[in-house]
Structure 1
Amino acid sequence: MRVNEEDNNGMSRKCEEWGSGTVVQLCPPQQHGHSACLVCRGAVLACIRLPDGDPSWERSFSRWPLGVCDHLVPVQEPFHPEEWACRTHYIYIWTEPHNRYTVHYTYSPEGPLEGFHPGSWERVANEEMWQARMKTAFFLFDLAERIQGEGKDRLFELSYTLYKEIVERHTDYPPNWDRNLALASEKLLRSGKQGHSPDSLLTCSIQHFSMYLDKEPTDSQAPAIRTAVSHLLQERTRVRQRRTP
């Protein structure tokens, strides 16, 4: 199926970013579940998650995050973390509040909805768009966990930097952002990467683990997180004591 600019302007604009003009190919939905797979003259974008099933593509392609989409690239193509972080930095222009469906939802038979119904596709789409903001940071963190060597510390640092910037830019955001920032902060601390204050990293981790627990007190991992916070508080005390003359 060929989709022109009038049919799907957003998809065409995304392809234009990759230098392909305005024509894209949309993979048949019966083959790809809920994903939209865009082919933009050499750039393959799979949007709203890749479906489970045939993993044969993994032998030939790597998956890089691009907003709500994944950019599939040949496995031999080198990945440059800083360059990709910059490339995906300003693509998020979603303006709906994250809490619109939980705080401002009202319904009137005579009027429009103010907010998103808890079971609506709008709520799902809104959550997808918000979570897309942190996909690059999550990807870098996960990549750092899976590799060894000098690049590992660099990936943890970049992931932490992106998470921190995203969280500090918003006042209302998904609760898992706090947990992820706390984890990234602690991982950077353990990596021993120079240029970061252990006190500030510990404080960041303690603060955002605590904020996550306030928002998600019934999380099955809450007891483990509370234990981790207790250990981090003790470690921060020792750090400050060593610093005292």
Structure 2
Amino acid sequence: MNKIVLVTGGTSGIGAACVQKFASEGYDVIVTGRRADRLEALKGDHILPLVLDVRDKQAVADTLGSLPPEWRNIDVLVNNAGLALGRDFFDEASMDDWETMIDTNVKGLLYVTRAVLPFMTARGKGHIINLGSTAGKEVYEKGNVYCATKFSVGALSQAMRIDLLRHGIKVTAIHPGAVETEFSMVRFKGDKATADSVYTGIEPLVAEDVADVIYYTTTLPAHVCINDLVLTCTQQANSMYMYRK
């Protein structure tokens, strides 16, 4: 029987790369996302696509609580769904953007994890991988609430690791730096010039780099867990310092 992985936000970027990586390694993959057209394209014998907005607590509980029996033995949960919206001074930022980031990056992660945990605790094993960010390690100007949500991911990962010890469940937080995906286009609301400028003069990570590392953390012996991992390109030191050529 193949192992099963659930990837949230799996229709683009790091999530889509995780779907491809785990599928190529023989996993059966449950993939969630909001874009039905992209999910439809992923359908296959070993991929179960679910249209799901992680911000919707009831939808998360209903959808994941009614998984077919053959899809319930989830071995790995990749909490990837997340976003940044805007990059503005605290006193000028959109409160709607704040709420969307909190609802997705923090509350969505909580809802999905709570819905999946009964499948893992019943078996006494599982691996939860939470996508943080270097923005969850150092706060930078105009990062305010996005940084706060990613600090929350780090704190929640630590809390899960402590509270789930008695169930034998691994918890890993992965904190990527600059990754060239749709992330910046979303953050800057379609402003391509500004989005592209984020990567000017550097060779950033690509989604497949992060997916490879995520997959690697699942390949270690049962008694070994990578708790917290920061991943950047060679030209980046942390969320603030880059060497641009």
TM over 0.5: no
Q: Which has the higher contact order (CA 8 A, sep 6+)?
A: 2
Structure with the larger strand share: 2
Pair member with larger Rg: 1
TM-score normalised by length of structure 2: 0.35
Structure with the larger helix share: 1
TM-score normalised by length of structure 1: 0.35
